[in-house]
């Protein structure tokens, strides 16, 4: 990926030189960032608000494959998936820290690419980079992002607030990131067997983007606030719809009914899944990495969002004893099971 480009050994800069080089162009934008990079700890002040904090750890070979993930996209995605967790609490994300572990195979130019992606995400979503840590690693690339945000106590949405009769809503569309990954995996295999062949990603831009360049749904948090809707529960879709709705139901001590025909699936996701011999609904239920927001609302709020094209109502919350089920297009009830992506499965 970076073999043929210029290579500057990181040792030429040293740790402090590297941090300075990578973070120089980042600007502090929030008043709440009292102190960013440069001291032993950052200092934040969210006067009168509750503070939200979330961390993700990304390991090469476990969470990403550099054979098809460009480094800039990796930096961008590492930030986005983290911001998504703050948005899923109905909060405003304001700061991140970024920690990286680098093996000797990474030249400065590679790390610069990662930070370009990080900076792009920070600028687009108005986020201050306020610190991190840098280390060498024995093998591979490690990136950990911690995101910080805030919300009024009354606005924070937990997973455990869903009530019987609440409507289950999801933003955007589902399954695309997973089907995009299948295409990237397929092209990688073809490339490994025949390196002369160029990848054939023609016409698959949307789902490839869903995989490589996901975006946290800050716009949905803003929209809900404008509509004066406070979800009764909310979660972001990182592991697949089935896994996420089960988290809401378990933590809220409720059951649910989803309707297969209501699950939003983009035509490109649908057609490509079919081409690959996959069931599009299964991709939406179990695929993951869509980073859409899944939330429940009171029925009284239905009229406020029923005409929004970016939000689908896909079911409702039931009594716990009814279990968690999906009614198929052929009107058969299936019990929902979580088969979401799991970094520990073999
Ligand atoms: P310490 O020795 O206290 O861990 P460091 O020398 O690691 O401090 O870091 C110096 C400053 O640079 C700190 O403000 C830290 O948060 C920041 N920093 C270190 N690594 C990174 C990084 N990869 N990205 C952004 N900021 C970083
Ligand atoms: Mg340090």
In a domain, 4, yes or no: no
Same domain, 149 and 22: yes
CATH number at residue 256: 3.90.650.10
Q: Which residues contact 272 (CB under 8 A, 6 or more apart)?
A: 179, 182, 183, 204, 207
Angstrom distance (rounded) from CA 281 to CA 217: 22
Q: What is the tens place of the pLDDT at every residue in 209-251?
A: 999 999 999 999 999 999 999 999 999 999 999 999 999 999 9
First to last CA, the chain: 27
What percent of the chain clears pLDDT 70, i.e. is strictly above it? 97
For residue 54, report the distance from its CA to the centre of ligand 1, in Å.
Answer: 18
Given 155, 183, 210, which residue is the final one in a domain?
Answer: 155
What string of DSSP letters covers 68-107? T--HHHHHHHHHHHHHHHHHTTT-EEEEEEEEEEE-TT--
* Cα dihedral sign, 185-189-190-191: positive
In a domain, 53, yes or no: yes
Report the pLDDT value the prediction gives residue 3, as an integer from 0 to 100.
53
Same domain, 151 and 53: yes
Angstrom distance (rounded) from CA 202 to CA 205: 7
Given 101, 124, 155, which residue is the final one in a domain?
Answer: 155
CATH number at residue 138: 3.30.1330.10
Angstrom distance (rounded) from CA 106 to CA 134: 13
- Ligand 1 environment, Cβ below 6 A: 19, 23, 37-40, 98-100, 129, 131-134
Report the pLDDT value the prediction gives residue 340, as an integer from 0 to 100.
53
Same domain, 108 and 18: yes
In a domain, 146, yes or no: yes
In a domain, 242, yes or no: yes
Same domain, 178 and 324: yes
Give the gyration radius of the chain's Cα atoms: 21
Whole-model pTM: value is: 0.94
Angstrom distance (rounded) from CA 164 to CA 311: 20
Which residue out of 15, 78, 134 has the highest number of ligand 1 atoms within 8 Å of its CB and is therefore the one to mutate? Answer: 134
Q: What is the tens place of the pLDDT at every residue in 91-131?
A: 999 999 999 999 999 999 999 999 999 999 999 999 999 99
Report the pLDDT value the prediction gives residue 342, as an integer from 0 to 100.
54
Nearest to 264 by CA among 245, 281, 282: 281
Report the pLDDT value the prediction gives residue 341, as an integer from 0 to 100.
52
Residue 26 contacts residue 122 (beta carbons within 8 Å): yes
| Cβ density class 14-35: b for 16+ within 10 Å, e for less | eeeebbebbbeebeeebebbee
Q: What's the domain range around 125?
A: 10-155
* Closest-lying ligand 1 atom to the alpha carbon of residue 131: 16
* Smallest CA separation from ligand 1 atom 15, residue: 131
Low-confidence ranges of the chain (pLDDT < 70): 1-5, 340-346
């Amino acid at each position: 990926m970076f073999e043929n480009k210029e290579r500057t050994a990181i040792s030429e800069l040293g740790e402090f030189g590297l941090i300075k080089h990578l973070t120089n162009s980042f600007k502090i934008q929030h008043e709440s960032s009292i102190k960013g990079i440069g001291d032993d700890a950052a200092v934040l002040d969210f006067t009168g608000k509750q503070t939200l904090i979330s961390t993700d750890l990304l390991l090469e070979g476990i969470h990403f494959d550099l054979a098809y993930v460009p480094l800039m996209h990796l930096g961008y995605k590492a930030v986005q998936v983290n911001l998504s967790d703050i948005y899923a609490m109905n909060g405003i994300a304001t700061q991140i820290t970024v920690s990286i572990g680098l093996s000797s195979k990474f030249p400065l130019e590679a790390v610069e690419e990662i930070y370009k992606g990080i900076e792009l995400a920070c600028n687009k979503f108005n986020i201050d980079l306020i610190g991190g840590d840098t280390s060498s690693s024995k093998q591979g690339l490690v990136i950990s992002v911690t995101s910080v945000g805030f919300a009024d106590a009354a606005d924070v949405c937990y997973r455990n607030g869903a009530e019987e009769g609440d409507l289950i809503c999801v933003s955007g569309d589902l399954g695309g990131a997973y089907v995009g990954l299948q295409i990237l995996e397929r092209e990688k295999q073809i490339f490994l067997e025949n390196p002369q062949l160029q990848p054939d990603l023609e016409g698959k831009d949307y789902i490839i983007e869903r995989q490589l360049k996901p975006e946290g749904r800050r716009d949905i948090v803003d929209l809900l606030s404008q509509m004066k809707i406070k979800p009764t529960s909310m979660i972001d879709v990182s592991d697949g719809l089935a896994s996420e709705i089960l988290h809401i139901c378990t933590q809220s001590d409720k059951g649910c009914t989803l309707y297969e025909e209501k699950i939003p699936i983009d035509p490109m996701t649908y057609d490509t899944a079919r081409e690959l011999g996959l069931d599009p609904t299964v991709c939406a239920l179990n695929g993951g990495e869509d980073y859409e927001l899944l939330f429940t609302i009171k029925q009284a709020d239905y009229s406020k969002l029923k005409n929004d094209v970016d939000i689908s109502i896909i079911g409702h919350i039931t009594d716990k004893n009814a279990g968690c089920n999906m009614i198929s297009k052929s009107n058969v009830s299936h019990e929902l099971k979580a088969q979401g992506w799991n970094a520990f499965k073999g």
